[in-house]
Amino acid sequence: MPIYKAPIEDSLFVLNDVLHVERYNNLPGFEDATPDTIEAILGEVGKLAEEVLQPLNEVGDKHGCVWTEGEGFDNTVEVPPGFQEAYDLYSEAGWGSLPFPEEYGGQGLPATLNAAVQEYVSSANMAFGMYPGLTAGAAAALIEHASEEQKQMYVPKMLSGEWSGTMNLTEPHCGTDLGMMRTKAARNDDGTFAISGQKIWISAGEHPMSSNIIHLVLARIEGAPEGVDGISLFICPKFLLDGDGNPGDRNKLSCGSLEHKMGINGNATCVMNYEGATAYLVGEENRGLKAMFVMMNEARLGVGVQGLAQSEVAYQNAADWARERIQGRSISGVKYPDLKADPIIVHPDIRRVLMTIRSFNEAARALVYWTALRSDLHHRSEDEEVRQSANDLMGLLTPVVKGVITDKGFDSTVMAQQVFGGTGYTKDQGVEQFVRDARIAMIYEGANGIQALDLVGRKLPSKGGRAVQAYFKEVGKFCSAHKDDDAMKPYIEPLSKGLADLQAATMWLVQNGVQNPDNAGAASTDYMHLFGLVAFGHMWGMMAKAANDKLADNANGQTKFLENKLLTGKFFMERIMPESSAHLARIQTGCDTMMAMAAEDF
């Protein structure tokens, strides 16, 4: 039976000691986020995650969701045992409303804090977390783009969990390339639309846990232009609302079947069939894709959190196993003479694996919170310059958070599984589920190759490179400020080297990517991972500084905790940061070799 303990002390360290969220108490919502409140909130959600959600994780995987054919549109999907009760607890405690504006029933708390909350939920039960997660994504889209009337009608009941939400983008023949979308919206006489078409891979598309499901659907209005400029966004509820705003008539849409997947079996991944379903336009006609993309940064941050979350829970289980499992003796001499063998944590190669995962988890957590704080600053600051700069940085780092954290998070689960040896391959310890669940995060919400292209093709050149220049300046300033501090040397020197590699790669892209865009494509994934190394290194620099400062102060009873932070950061700098030069070397070889072979020869 897998274990999970919410890493509250680590979260608090980042929020309070590294990011100093209390310094932002001039922002709306932050005034309530005092250290005490934050600790209380994380304690509460930690309890829910550990005691309710985590015990349902294997249940969800084994039981899965069950589709049953029904009359007319009433095909049903049964969720795993216990999910309904967990959903009710989650909703009643208000976890679905935490970062949303109070005017729509939200609590107005920082997105930064919500990132921590979502990490715990996702570590405990990723498939479960996707139900409220999709609702939050749909609610965010409505808050950003819907009319005031629509918002009042839908959002409060979504935030309370009474209703849930989904996002319908993909069709069988189009995923990344939404311009080829075929789902049609016909105009009804009353100003509503009738949607017809098939959407696939709709997470939480059908389930009995909420009394209505608000589908957000992308479709093409009759006569709209070809391509991405002819796509509109619609609200298409499972039950149409009656005059009192309550679920009334059944809408003409149904779940045609469930996908059979590698993992996240507890979540219902649906084929959705729309057969003249009544729908309401959100925002302007033909601007649907743009509307979706505006809120995609937040959704992608959420997927990055999933990558971190699976890595964290996999780490905890592997560390636990490594302490318990006795096998062989330390090569540097017996360490536990009273036992028949040493616990495998004595072996350097096991520690290398654990430290690799741990040094990733802590940096990824800091980076997620740091990026979420940019989102809060962007949405809540009154200073236009602060808002713009925060938005630039959030946009720049989003593909890094999504792409790198889900890639590396998956690698972590595989490494953690390896610590278990043969047991890790069986279903006995639950660790192989982490691998299967984590795998999806690299794919959905824009496959990681698309994240890399978004970074080099869109975010880098945007506004003359304003965002990336600001980012380099910030990291460079950090290095300059601490380069003469002996205690910071083990962190600053490798970070400076990584930054120099990233700057060289950026320069190479500027010189070669414009002349031949395939050079940019050929460099994209390596560039994204090189960027990730620097971003993690920057976080480790900040964490080392905070740990050193606190140790020099009174450590607040955390001496060991802080010393371990410094050790973990040092490991990152010694063992992970050196990858930067390999990325740079690869980038600089360009696209010629990979583009030379004929398609039919592959």
Enzyme catalytic residues: 445
AA letter at 387: R
DSSP secondary structure, 39-92, as one string: HHHHHHHHHHIIIIIGGGHHHHHHH--EEE--STT--EEEPPTTHHHHHHHHHH
Compute the distance between CA of residue 133 and CA of residue 131 in angstroms, rounded to an integer. Answer: 5
Q: How far is the CB of 337 from a copy of itself (least distance, A)?
A: 15
Does the footprint of a copy of itself cover residue 177 (CB under 8 A)?
Answer: yes
Compute the distance between CA of residue 234 and CA of residue 54 in angstroms, rounded to an integer. Answer: 35
Interacting residues with a copy of itself between 350 and 389 (CB under 8 A):
350-355, 358
Nearer to a copy of itself, 89 or 447 (CB): 447
Interacting residues with a copy of itself between 493 and 512 (CB under 8 A):
none
Nearer to a copy of itself, 114 or 580 (CB): 580
User: Cβ(300)–Cβ(401) under 8 Å?
Assistant: yes
| Residue 184, SS3 per DSSP | strand
DSSP state of 32: G
Question: Considering CB under 8 A, how many residues would be counted as binding a copy of itself?
Answer: 96
Does the footprint of a copy of itself cover residue 514 (CB under 8 A)?
Answer: no
- Measured at the CA of 467, the angle between CA 462 and CA 472, to 5 degrees, comes to 135
Compute the distance between CA of residue 76 and CA of residue 206 in angstroms, rounded to an integer. Answer: 7
- Here's the x/- map for a copy of itself, 424-463, by CB under 8 A: it reads as xxxxx---x--xx--xx-xxx--xxx--xx---x------
Q: How far is the CB of 90 from a copy of itself (least distance, A)?
A: 25
Nearer to a copy of itself, 63 or 261 (CB): 261
Nearer to a copy of itself, 243 or 597 (CB): 597
**CA pseudo-torsion sign 5, 570, 442, 378:** positive
Question: DSSP strand E in 71-228: where?
Answer: 76-78, 163-168, 184-187, 193-203, 212-221
What is the number of other CB atoms lying within 10 angstroms of the CB of residue 161? 24
Nearer to a copy of itself, 76 or 588 (CB): 588
Radius of gyration of the chain (CA): 24
Nearer to a copy of itself, 94 or 590 (CB): 590
- Here's the x/- map for a copy of itself, 129-168, by CB under 8 A: it reads as ----------------------------------------
User: Cβ(519)–Cβ(512) under 8 Å?
Assistant: yes
User: Cβ(92)–Cβ(99) under 8 Å?
Assistant: no
Nearer to a copy of itself, 45 or 353 (CB): 353
Does the footprint of a copy of itself cover residue 552 (CB under 8 A)?
Answer: no
Compute the distance between CA of residue 45 and CA of residue 43 in angstroms, rounded to an integer. Answer: 6
Give the phi and the psi of residue 331 in degrees, each rounded to 5: -75, -15
Kindly indicate which of the ranges 37-45, 150-158, 257-265, 471-479 contains the residues binding a copy of itself, using the contact rule CB under 8 A: 257-265
Q: How far is the CB of 176 from a copy of itself (least distance, A)?
A: 5
- Measured at the CA of 330, the angle between CA 325 and CA 331, to 5 degrees, comes to 145
Judged by CB under 8 A, the residue of 37, 147, 176, 469 near a copy of itself is 176
Interacting residues with a copy of itself between 300 and 359 (CB under 8 A):
319, 322-323, 326-328, 330-332, 340-341, 343, 345-355, 358
Nearer to a copy of itself, 352 or 489 (CB): 352
Judged by CB under 8 A, the residue of 149, 190, 243, 260 near a copy of itself is 260
Structure tokens at 383: 């200073």
Interacting residues with a copy of itself between 73 and 112 (CB under 8 A):
none
Question: DSSP strand E in 90-229: where?
Answer: 163-168, 184-187, 193-203, 212-221
Interacting residues with a copy of itself between 401 and 430 (CB under 8 A):
410, 414, 417-418, 421-422, 424-428
Q: How far is the CB of 590 from a copy of itself (least distance, A)?
A: 9
Kindly indicate which of the ranges 212-220, 366-374, 382-390, 571-579 contains the residues binding a copy of itself, using the contact rule CB under 8 A: 571-579
Residues whose CB falls within 8 Å of the CB of residue 391, separated by 6 or more in sequence, listed in order: 374, 378
Q: How far is the CB of 183 from a copy of itself (least distance, A)?
A: 16
- Here's the x/- map for a copy of itself, 180-209, by CB under 8 A: it reads as x-------------------xx--------
